Amino acid sequence: QGRILEKTGLCSQITFGRYVRQGRKLGVDPKLFIQDRQFNKVPVRVYQPKATSDGRRRGIIFFHGGGWVFGSLDTYEKVCRYLSRESESVVVSVQYRLAPEHKYPAAYEDCLNATIHFMKNIEHYGVDPANVIVCGDSAGGNLAAAVSQTLAGRSDLPKLRAQILIYPGLQALDFNLPSYHQNRGVPLLFRERAAFFALQYLNGDALHMQEVLEGSHIPPEMRLKYRKWWVSPDNIPDKFKVRGVKPLRPTDFIAEVYETVKRFCEPNLCPLLAEDAIVQQLPESFILTCEYDVLRDDGLLYKKRLEDNGVRVTWYHLEDGFHGVISLYDYCGFSFPAGKRGLDSVVNFLKGL
């Protein structure tokens, strides 16, 4: 439908997608104080439990998913309310600027600035400065990982207590990892759309999408470097390769394409590529992956990188999960049990911190 509207000139696919993804306005929550604020000019929504607390609460800074292109405070209202109520935490949901209107690094900068503002003004929200967590799903998981890496080296702010990455997208070098082919046509994220969203975030368009999918956008020597250490099927457990995977050889390198996408190699955009010296400083981590998700292997590879660098990781894998299932745990009368289990696994991790 979006393509039809785009061809007829009525509106773009992205505009149509944003329209159909609008969140329903929810009524008053009897257990939460909810207010919209601005953190360093970034719109946020703050959720605070009404119940009294014996001490300071934990604080969760939440970055929504949507491929850097979709999503809003309203679309993740139900998820944020659930996290705040069930974990008895203060939750700050961040409305970062969206692509393609605002290209990289706009979303990353908004998330970083909102997080820093919160940490510098934490006493206003009754939050323990030693118990602040960044959390996000999909593109939001990418942003949470990038913010966590940036803050790891800061000495002027409290250290993050943890990072929670829910089916995160963490690299754009290799769209031919096993999960990208096993789940290439599985909703809610097709393989082609994963590349489309990454390009929209980086450049504000989807030019050269086919070359990126085929692997023509990375120089051979750079591909060899990253494949040797980090972005390689060899670092994915064999049990995840049994569903018909045929290794594909990258097509020939195209220098002109690389020139347009070379910032894919920046860790603030692709956190899987951060150096070990940064990864070693990261806080305790929770990673959720779904079996039927093109981004599954991004999460598995980052899990290994963190563990290899001495970071404690709690991993939760939804064998029956698909991309986006968390936000569908209770959607318009439909309930996906995997989504509820995934959300509860996050709550249990939070309660154990």
User: Which of these is catalytic: 110, 137, 174, 293?
Assistant: 293
User: Which of these is catalytic: 64, 117, 181, 323?
Assistant: 323
Pairing of strands 313-322, 284-292: parallel
Please give the Cα distance from 99 to 142 (Å, whole number). Answer: 15
344 among known catalytic residues: no
Q: How many CB atoms lie within 10 A of CB 337?
A: 12
DSSP character at residue 331: B
Residue 114 is inside which H or E element, if any? helix 106-120
Residue 314 is inside which H or E element, if any? strand 313-322
72 among known catalytic residues: no
Q: How far apart are the first and last CA of the chain?
A: 45
User: Which of these is catalytic: 89, 93, 138, 345?
Assistant: 138
In which order are the strands placed within the sheet that holds 57-63?
32-39, 42-49, 90-94, 57-63, 127-137, 162-166, 284-292, 313-322
181 among known catalytic residues: no
For residues 204 and 100, the answer to whether their CB atoms sit within 8 Å is yes
Which residue in this structure is represented by tokens 């309660």? 351
Burial-class residue 271 by CB neighbours within 10 Å (0-12, 13-18, 19+).
buried
Please give the Cα distance from 228 to 203 (Å, whole number). Answer: 28
Q: How many CB atoms lie within 10 A of CB 33?
A: 12
> Which residues are known catalytic residues?
138, 293, 323
